Structure 1
Amino acid sequence: MKVAITGGHGFLGWHTSCRLRSTRGIEPVRLNRAEYTDGTLFSAVGEADIVIHVAGVNRADSDTAVEAGNVELARLLADCIEKSGRAIHVVYANSIQAKLDNPYGRGKAAAAEILRTATDSNGGTMSDVLLPNLFGEHGRPGYNSFVATFASDVAQGGSPTVTGDREIELLHAQRAAEVLIRAAEERIDGPVEPRGVPRRIAKVLSMLVSFNELYASGEIPDLTDSFALDLFNTYRSYLRTDHFPIHPQIHADPRGELFETARTHGGTGQAFVSITVPGAMRGDHYHLNKVERFFVVKGEAEIKLRRLLHDEVLTYRLSGDQPGFVDMPTMWVHNIKNVGEGELITMFWADQLLDPVNPDQFPEKVTAEEATR
């Protein structure tokens, strides 16, 4: 299945691309705004089996720009579909606001009609996916959702407040991505309306504040609820890179030293210890929703991380001379290497019990150099 994603570098486009890569082994063509008018979009439509239309305008300088922006993006894609003469399947990431009479809702509703007309003209089909409010890792603060704004602010030490508290239906971006992908696989021709989790804005903020208070020292909050896990992983994506490594307090007496490696406030967990010889490496994988900790107890270690579908690599150096840990963010490829002359002893902890059938672990090298070794 050849897939093209408009808005493929944006918030939901990135999440959808990550999920296609990890769970289906598909590398979609990711299209940005500049490629809609330079012939790239037309070429992609001419080769794709599925087009997932995620590109949209959430906010702009005026209400008119919001409404017109969504319409224009749909028209650009519709024009390519009609000119291609191909019966392709379009999955449209619409919004439940398309039912409302506001600039964003009118723009999204009009875009759906434009895309439906274009696909019908060639005998194609269209899934009209009406999504609720989305949240998730690496959303743009002040643009994608109030969750992104609050999570970023809290993680950076701010103290946001709520005005006009109300209940909002929320859906994590990875769950939304799965809905889009299944609509593509099943070629659903018609509306799809996934449900989110209703939460009050003030409750979401209080959870984020609680996460921040606990996680300052590396304590793990209660993650028994799937929404709490999704929100915690969202919060973690906004932490400063110097949040890690964290070094716990060491209690020493004539017998030796004692320190905590993990403290959790609810939910499952699994820990194991590895002994790694000099020069050897572990990891080179990523997770979609697992919280994983690398705690260096003895030896010299180098931990590398790279956000999926990005190039920049973060490097942390840890030593057993000052025991400490780094937690792996979701959808970041990571590894740990023994860079010392002696054994490296590492304690690994994860919030989930290992499920051999669905381990939530996907292999990928952190760097291109490692991939060629």
Structure 2
Amino acid sequence: MELGAAYDLTATATAISGSERLIHIAGVNRGNEDEVRLGNIELAQQLAQALRTAERPPQEVVYANSIQSGNGTIYGDAKAEAGSILKAAADFVGASYTDVLLPNLFGEHGRPFYNSVVATFCHLLQSGQAPEVKDDKELLLLHAQNAAEVLLGSVPVRAMDGLASRRTVSAVLAHLQDLAATYHSGDIPNVASAFDLDLFNTYRSFRVGQELPFALDRRADARGSFFEVCRTRGGDGQTSFSTTVPGVTRGQHFHRRKIERFVVLSGQAEIAMRRLFTDEVLRFKVDGSKPVAIDMPTLWTHNITNTGDSDLYTMFWTNDIFDPSNPDTFTEEV
């Protein structure tokens, strides 16, 4: 199903026919005034036309609206008008209509200078630049995964305010600077609150590539060797240990919020990870004689393969205690 210039009424009506929930996320928030106003209205009109044409219209229409809706700006008024168009179409076909007034969203892999000030700050801090606060207003911030849960209906709309956090722009920057300073040494900052964890995972998503591994300080003498695996600044945590026979691959899953650290203690291995919905795969050769810590970014599926000729010993640390009823582990091959 496509809207905009590629819109096809028959194909769109067929695509939505028989569905339980139709979520309208498409919108225009950049461009000149006419592009913003007409773009949002046109997208809503196209979907409304498809709703009226569908043989079996969806039972519910959910609109990803904005807290700026109807605030007198071109964007806010366009979002409000688009909502009116969608509601009228939903009423016409007998579908329920849910208007979700989303606040400022942030999350992993946001586009700097476009999606949110959080993404911009993360990009600048990770690249060694000095962010500046130009408009120190208060923001109502919601993690993108929480927004997705609301739009999908797994979290009621009325609960959304309780998931959002109010922070000034300067407070967000100060918080991110503290997270970056702590994580620079490989330490895990205090992520006891949901907002702390979401903000840290957002920052971590900008630290990928060959700079991902942290070198560990290995000290050896006649007795053997010693090195610290992980130091945390607060919150819960769990450490695990595994052995893997040669040629075997473990993992093949991703996490939504869990922080997970891999450290090979003995043997040789390849750690591979792929960002969801892309073909981008990162591969790291690791060796227990030169230990490094690799933290798995959220929303990247990952695995570890024993590439040596002896058993592989690996230690794992996560920031939470494993809960079988909510494991935050989703199967997906790299």
Q: Using structure 2 for the length normalisation, give the TM-score.
A: 0.93
Structure 1 residues 240-279: aligned runs within 5 Å: 240-279=208-247
Contact 1:297–1:324 (CA<8 Å) still a contact in 2?
no
Aligned residue in 1 for 2:287: 319
Does residue 81 of the first structure (1) align with residue 47 of the second (2)?
no
Q: CA deviation at 1:157?
A: 1.9
Contact 1:289–1:360 (CA<8 Å) still a contact in 2?
yes
Aligned residue in 1 for 2:148: 177
Contact 1:98–1:108 (CA<8 Å) still a contact in 2?
yes
Does residue 131 of the first structure (1) align with residue 97 of the second (2)?
no
Aligned residue in 1 for 2:185: 217
Query: Of residues 117, 120, 130 in structure 2, which corresponds to 1:149?
Result: 120
Measure the CA separation in 2 of the matches of 1:254 and 1:32: 68
Please, what is the CA RMSD of the aligned residues?
A: 2.0
**1:22-55: per-residue Cα shift (whole Å, max 9, x none)?**
xxxxxxxx75756534854333123433211111
Contact 1:130–1:194 (CA<8 Å) still a contact in 2?
no
**1:232-251: per-residue Cα shift (whole Å, max 9, x none)?**
01111112411222211222
Contact 2:218–2:227 (CA<8 Å) still a contact in 1?
yes
Q: CA deviation at 1:81?
A: 1.0
Contact 1:58–1:144 (CA<8 Å) still a contact in 2?
no
Measure the CA separation in 2 of the matches of 1:33 and 1:48: 21
Does residue 356 of the first structure (1) align with residue 327 of the second (2)?
no
Change (3 A) 1:166 1:288: same
Name whichever of 223-232 and 203-212 sits farther off.
203-212
**1:205-260: per-residue Cα shift (whole Å, max 9, x none)?**
11111222222232100001110100001111112411222211222334332211
Query: Of residues 218, 243, 251 in structure 2, which corresponds to 1:283?
Result: 251
Contact 1:85–1:122 (CA<8 Å) still a contact in 2?
no
Contact 2:64–2:101 (CA<8 Å) still a contact in 1?
yes
Name whichever of 80-89 and 99-108 sits farther off.
80-89
Find the residue that maps to 2:160 and give its secondary structure. coil
Find the residue that maps to 2:81 and give its secondary structure. helix
**1:276-306: per-residue Cα shift (whole Å, max 9, x none)?**
1101111111111000011111111111111
Aligned residue in 2 for 1:334: 302
Query: Letter of the aligned partner of 2:265 in structure 1?
Result: V
Query: Letter of the aligned partner of 1:46 in structure 2?
Result: S
Q: CA deviation at 1:193?
A: 7.9
Does residue 41 of the first structure (1) align with residue 12 of the second (2)?
yes
Contact 1:270–1:349 (CA<8 Å) still a contact in 2?
yes
Measure the CA separation in 1 of the matches of 2:5 and 2:179: 39
Aligned residue in 2 for 1:17: none
Query: Letter of the aligned partner of 1:217 in structure 2?
Result: S
**1:41-85: per-residue Cα shift (whole Å, max 9, x none)?**
33312343321111111222x133222221111111111111225
Aligned residue in 1 for 2:67: 96
Change (3 A) 1:34 1:353: farther
Does residue 164 of the first structure (1) align with residue 129 of the second (2)?
no
Find the residue that maps to 1:334 and give its secondary structure. strand
Find the residue that maps to 2:68 and give its secondary structure. helix
Find the residue that maps to 1:98 and give its secondary structure. coil
Q: Which runs of 5+ in 2 are unaligned?
A: none
Query: Of residues 33, 52, 55 in structure 1, which corresponds to 2:23?
Result: 52
Change (3 A) 1:162 1:320: same
Contact 1:298–1:345 (CA<8 Å) still a contact in 2?
yes
Contact 2:21–2:61 (CA<8 Å) still a contact in 1?
yes
Q: Give identity over the alignment, percent.
A: 47
Measure the CA separation in 2 of the matches of 1:63 and 1:319: 56
Change (3 A) 1:50 1:242: same
**1:290-337: per-residue Cα shift (whole Å, max 9, x none)?**
000111111111111112222222211111121112111111111111
Q: CA deviation at 1:86?
A: 3.5
Aligned residue in 2 for 1:107: 78
**1:134-171: per-residue Cα shift (whole Å, max 9, x none)?**
11111211111111111122122221111221211101
Does residue 194 of the first structure (1) align with residue 160 of the second (2)?
yes
Contact 2:30–2:36 (CA<8 Å) still a contact in 1?
yes
Contact 1:68–1:107 (CA<8 Å) still a contact in 2?
yes
Query: Letter of the aligned partner of 2:35 in structure 1?
Result: A
Change (3 A) 1:329 1:34: farther
Measure the CA separation in 1 of the matches of 2:215 and 2:159: 46
Q: CA deviation at 1:338?
A: 0.4
Contact 1:297–1:320 (CA<8 Å) still a contact in 2?
yes
Q: CA deviation at 1:174?
A: 0.8
Name whichever of 148-157 and 164-173 sits farther off.
148-157
Measure the CA separation in 1 of the matches of 2:313 and 2:325: 28
Contact 1:155–1:236 (CA<8 Å) still a contact in 2?
no
Q: CA deviation at 1:354?
A: 0.6
Change (3 A) 1:31 1:326: farther
Q: Using structure 1 for the length normalisation, give the TM-score.
A: 0.84
